[in-house]
Amino acid sequence: MSKVPDYNEINSEIVEKLKAIVGEEFVMWDNKPMMYSYMSRGIMGIRAGPPDCVVRPANKEEIHDILILCSENKIPVTPMAGGLSGGFALPLLENGGVLLECSRMNKIIEVNTDARYVIVEPGVRAGEVWAYFKKYYPDWAPPIADGAPPAATIMGDAIERGLSLVTSRFGPQADMVMGMEIVLPTGDILRTGSWGLGGVDEDKQGDKKDGHAMPYYKYGLGPDLHSLFFGSQGAMGVVTKAALKIVPHCRFKTVKVYGFDNWYDAQEATLEASKYECGISDHLVMVQGGNWWLVPTRWQKEKIPQKYDYWKTLGFFEYQLNLEVWAHSQEELDFVTKKLDEIILEQYAKKAKGKISEQKLHPIQIASRLKKPNKIAIPYGQWEQGFIFVTWYTPWADAAECMEKYCATMEKYKFPPVMWFASIDHCRECIIMPIFCFDTRKIEDYERFEACEDEFTDWALKRGFVNYRPNPTIHAPKSYAKAPTVFKLLRTIKKIIDPNMIMHPGRLAFLAGVEKPEDIPQYIIGFGKSKKQEA
């Protein structure tokens, strides 16, 4: 790892200025155990180091002053909401700089059931907003992430373009964002979409009362700035508020489960069903599944049979898909589920490569799968000592090919081939998520993981697939090297809104003084002891 020359370290003078901005109790410096505790949260990134200082602002004004101070002094800043949705909200350089921990900003600002949005601050967690709606707006559902724990923040998942509990119907989480309030390192405060229009009559501002229009139209006042901040992983600015679509919370729900003996039938059967839009697949709020390895890897590996023959006797399919169906009446629900059986078990089954079956769930099983928010990700840490998610986007029609190749590559590098996938927007796209179960105490396991990802990424990019949370040493540099115009323009824009490039340096291949994305990995912190730890 090389030292980046264009950033400065925090000193006691800077710390005192930070305390003057947010208050002494909300600045933490020189507390190494607490600094390292922030590193335990990530489930989607393994390259990370501790911050030098943690600052916990309460509002956009404090964030504004912090960013101005850090930009003037060329100090790296890494924004964090909950640190769980993406797991990438950690420093990447030896110089950890400031971790901007936004959990104090936890207000639900406004709910508008006519324009159908909720405005939240970055610290609002999925469990909190779900409970709030259950109590005050039971007919509406906020787009919390499906599969993320209750402590994950709803905004973190949204601006990372994650998946919501209705993602098969409404598209990726980013499609649910109607507007954002963003503090830039220049000190400017940007509001996207119709929200950017100022000088608006008070009765047309909504409950937020900030002088600006309501966030009812995401594309706003001309050329779109909205998408610039999606997937930026804190590298462009700090999102202090976001307006997210809410959807009707239907009272009639069920889960249909279909089993297959190959990836291709799982792909094609659901693709056929999802083309019945405007009546059938619009009721499929979540279509997700995977292979049988999703089951045994939720327990300690020494205590669990690792051959499919055993799990087959317990009724587990080799490949499985869960279709969560919402409707406004029992009659509507029955019509949709009957049609799904007709499409998958009769219509498609006649041309399938293998056998297709339905698993009849007990009402308790259905209730369990419908429970939100859930904790389905957490048990994967039981297999050894830890786990990590990697996520790719493909066309749905290419999902089987991608997962087959991924599983083979995982086995080559001696990982159990745990594979999960889900429909995005009526099976137009697929999000593919291998779950790497490994021992976090062994550096060689981290190295084995990166070797696996390095090999798979070369293949996936040639197939036209896109990593949706690119890591800084493999996915981002390899992807941007194949999209030089995109990288050049993004870097140019970043230098305008972040002239000293202080925002999450190293993330997404943006680093002051480093022009080529391929050169970024040499500056990213590694797996062994850093110089700070050795000291």
The domains of the chain are located at: 12-104, 108-248, 252-441
The answer on pLDDT for 5 being more than 80 is no
What pLDDT, in 10s, does the model give residues 213-236?
999 999 988 888 888 998 888 899
What pLDDT, in 10s, does the model give residues 487-511?
999 999 999 999 999 999 988 888 8
Query: Which ranges of 171-305 does DSSP label H, i.e. alpha helix?
Result: 263-274
Positive or negative, the CA dihedral 471, 472, 473, 479 is: positive
The answer on pLDDT for 45 being more than 80 is no
Q: Which residues have CB under 8 Å from 263's CB, separation 6+?
A: 319, 399, 400, 403, 404
Report, as an integer, the average pLDDT of 168-187.
94
Please give, one letter per residue, the 3-state secondary structure of 452-479: HHHHHHHHHHHCCCEECCCCCCCHHHHH
What residues pair up with 392 in beta bridges, in sequence order? 432, 467
> How many residues are recorded in the chain?
535
Tokens of 126: 């999925």
How far apart are the C-alpha atoms of 467 and 462, rounded to whole Å?
12
The answer on pLDDT for 39 being more than 70 is no
What residues pair up with 141 in beta bridges, in sequence order? 247
What pLDDT, in 10s, does the model give residues 400-433?
999 999 999 999 999 999 999 999 999 999 999 9
Report, as an integer, the average pLDDT of 453-476.
95
Report, as an integer, the average pLDDT of 6-20.
95
Which class in CATH covers the domain with range 12-104?
alpha beta
What pLDDT, in 10s, does the model give residues 311-350?
889 888 999 999 999 999 999 999 999 999 999 999 999 9
CA dist list (Å): 31 to 36, 50, 52, 78, 97: 9, 11, 9, 18, 14
Contact in structure between 406 and 439 (CB atoms under 8 Å): no
The answer on pLDDT for 434 being more than 90 is yes
The answer on pLDDT for 159 being more than 90 is no
What pLDDT, in 10s, does the model give residues 69-91?
999 999 999 999 876 655 567 88
**What angle (nearest 5°) sits at the alpha carbon of residue 126, between those of residues 97 and 183?**
40
Positive or negative, the CA dihedral 482, 185, 99, 60 is: negative
What pLDDT, in 10s, does the model give residues 359-389?
999 999 999 889 887 766 666 667 887 888 8
The answer on pLDDT for 310 being more than 70 is yes
Q: Which CATH architecture has domain 252-441?
A: 3-Layer(aba) Sandwich (3.40)
Q: What is the reported pLDDT for 534?
A: 47
Report, as an integer, the average pLDDT of 170-196.
95
What pLDDT, in 10s, does the model give residues 439-459?
888 899 999 999 999 999 999
Q: How confident is the model at residue 460 (pLDDT cuts 50, 70, 90)?
A: very high
Return mean pLDDT, the chain: 91
Written as one letter, the residue type at 338 is: K
Say how many C-beta atoms besides its own lie within 10 A of residue 127's C-beta. Answer: 16
What residues pair up with 112 in beta bridges, in sequence order? 117
Q: What is the reported pLDDT for 400?
A: 98
Q: How confident is the model at residue 109 (pLDDT cuts 50, 70, 90)?
A: very high
Contact in structure between 187 and 65 (CB atoms under 8 Å): no
Q: What is the reported pLDDT for 154?
A: 87
Q: Which residues have CB under 8 Å from 421's CB, separation 6+?
A: 288, 289, 290, 399, 403, 430, 431, 432, 433
Q: What is the reported pLDDT for 203?
A: 96
- Identify the residue with better confidence: 57 or 508: 57
* Closest-CA residue to 95 (of 72, 112, 78): 78
Kindly indicate whether the domain formed by 108-248 is annotated with CATH number 3.30.465.10.
yes
**What angle (nearest 5°) sits at the alpha carbon of residue 317, between those of residues 312 and 318?**
90
Q: What is the reported pLDDT for 380?
A: 67
Strand arrangement, sheet containing 108-112:
108-112, 117-120, 238-245, 177-183, 189-191
Q: What is the reported pLDDT for 300?
A: 86
CA dist list (Å): 315 to 219, 230, 292, 355, 447: 48, 41, 10, 14, 36
Q: Which residues have CB under 8 Å from 79's CB, separation 6+?
A: 89, 100, 102, 122, 234, 238, 239, 503, 504
How far apart are the C-alpha atoms of 467 and 511, rounded to whole Å?
20
How far apart are the C-alpha atoms of 389 and 87, rounded to whole Å?
10
Please give, one letter per residue, the 3-state secondary structure of 96-158: CCEEEECCCCCCEEEEECCCCEEEECCCCEHHHHHHHHHHHCCCEECCCECCCCCCCEHHHHH
Give the phi and the psi of residue 363 in degrees, each rounded to 5. Answer: -55, -35
Candidate ranges 4-13, 18-27, 150-159; pick with highest mean pLDDT: 18-27
Q: What is the reported pLDDT for 401?
A: 98
